[in-house]
């Protein structure tokens, strides 16, 4: 990044590497090397593409303080874009499908971002179309996460290079990731491989066994947000003949996520998906080193199914909260005066 990205109160260009740690959930399971991307400032790996795409646009003169950035997203990318825009003095508009978690909406607004909702039934495709309409109308900048090659470059030059530097022996034998935009998996395949050794790549695909597939976000499973199909311009499964697809039931992904959280890894559902798929992948390459990514942090899922087991009988985390809600409801009822007839 040029000097403009290093001025007062700005830090995105000066962040340290996220940790790469070996994780073994039980003694009879293999060790999986996991990149803790939830430790990025906004809580997800999307920080990488936000600061890379917007930083480059800023340096090239396509953006300047006060410019407007508009992006379609199911949540995490918009949170990261909102943070980086706040750092660079840019206005940000997130175009989201209705139905994303409240936590995501609050985080975007907290960073000063504006939100434009599109109908849930039109999915992320509808959000993309609306972002393009708004950009044409307002003269806004479109990062285009689903088709911009800089998405994959951010992971090739950042995430993958860090992994190769951090892993013992500097060799990666297999990479495992779900696909949303496709940038992470494509970047890892490019950046973690070398002419010195063969590397295998695995696509983690959630399978919704309990309900029909929802249109929101074009998800394979509506229970694993951000893992999508049919909309990436960066990744086409048919282009990678050596790619192995691993299907994971959404329930296994959710349960694995909860197990990781209990061990002190504050992750979201896609991390459970990636880890569970990595365990399956390891069976075919063990004792080689298998690497996956923990994409985002758990706090954006507090109101979702992931945290349902931790709620009390009144649907709240604290009995006192339930008592407070009951007291407020009783007070409102006592204060209600029927209209005179």
Whether 201 shows a pLDDT value over 80: the answer reads yes
Q: Which residue has the higher pLDDT, 128 or 233?
A: 128
Contact 40, 18 (CB under 8 A): yes
Is residue 62 pLDDT above 90, yes or no? yes
pLDDT confidence of residue 123: 85
What would the CATH number be for the domain defined by 3-41+148-301? 3.40.50.1100
- CA 225, CA 296: separation in Å to the nearest integer? 11
Kindly list the distances between the CA atom of residue 48 and the CA atoms of 38, 174, 206, in Å, as whole numbers in the listed order.
11, 22, 24
Q: Is pLDDT larger for residue 335 or for residue 75?
A: 75
Instruction: Provide the pLDDT confidence category of residue 339 given band limits of 50, 70 and 90.
Output: very low
Assess whether the region 3-41+148-301 and the region 46-138 belong to the same CATH fold. Answer: yes
According to the model, what pLDDT value does residue 234 have? 75
pLDDT tens, position by position, 66-117: 999 999 987 799 999 999 999 999 999 999 999 888 999 999 999 999 999 9
pLDDT of 245 strictly over 90: yes
Architecture of domain 46-138: 3-Layer(aba) Sandwich (3.40)
The residues spanned by each domain of the chain are: 3-41+148-301, 46-138
246 and 176 in contact (C-beta within 8 Å)? yes
């Amino acid at each position: 990044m040029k000097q403009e990205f290093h001025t007062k109160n700005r830090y995105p260009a000066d962040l340290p590497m996220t940790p790469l740690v070996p994780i073994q959930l039980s003694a009879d399971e293999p060790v999986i090397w996991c990149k803790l991307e939830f430790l990025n400032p906004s809580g997800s790996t999307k920080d990488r593409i936000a600061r890379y795409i917007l930083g480059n646009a800023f340096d090239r003169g396509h953006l300047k303080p006060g410019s407007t950035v508009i992006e379609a997203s199911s949540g995490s990318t918009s949170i990261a874009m909102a943070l980086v825009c706040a750092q660079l003095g840019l206005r940000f508009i997130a175009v989201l499908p209705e139905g994303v978690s409240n936590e995501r909406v609050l985080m975007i607004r907290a960073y000063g971002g504006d939100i434009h909702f599109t109908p849930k039934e039109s999915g992320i495709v509808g959000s993309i179309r609306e972002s393009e309409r708004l950009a044409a109308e307002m003269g806004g900048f479109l990062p285009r996460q689903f088709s911009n090659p800089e998405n994959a470059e951010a992971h090739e030059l950042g995430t993958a290079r860090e992994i190769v530097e951090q892993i013992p022996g500097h060799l990666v034998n297999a990479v495992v990731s779900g696909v949303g935009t496709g940038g992470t998996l494509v970047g890892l395949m490019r950046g973690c491989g070398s002419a010195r050794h063969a590397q295998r790549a695995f696509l983690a695909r959630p399978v919704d066994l309990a309900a029909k597939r929802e249109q929101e976000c074009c998800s394979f499973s509506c229970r694993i947000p951000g893992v999508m199909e049919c909309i990436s311009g960066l990744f086409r499964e048919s282009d990678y003949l050596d790619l192995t697809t691993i299907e994971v039931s959404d329930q296994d992904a959710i349960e694995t996520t909860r197990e990781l959280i209990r061990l002190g890894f504050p992750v979201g559902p896609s991390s459970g998906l990636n880890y569970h798929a990595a365990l399956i992948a390891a069976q075919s390459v063990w004792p080689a080193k298998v690497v996956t990514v923990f994409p985002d942090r758990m706090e954006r899922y507090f109101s979702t199914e992931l945290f349902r087991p931790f709620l009390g009988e009144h649907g709240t985390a604290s009995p006192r909260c339930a008592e407070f809600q009951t007291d407020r409801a009783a007070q409102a009822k006592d204060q209600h005066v029927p209209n005179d007839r």
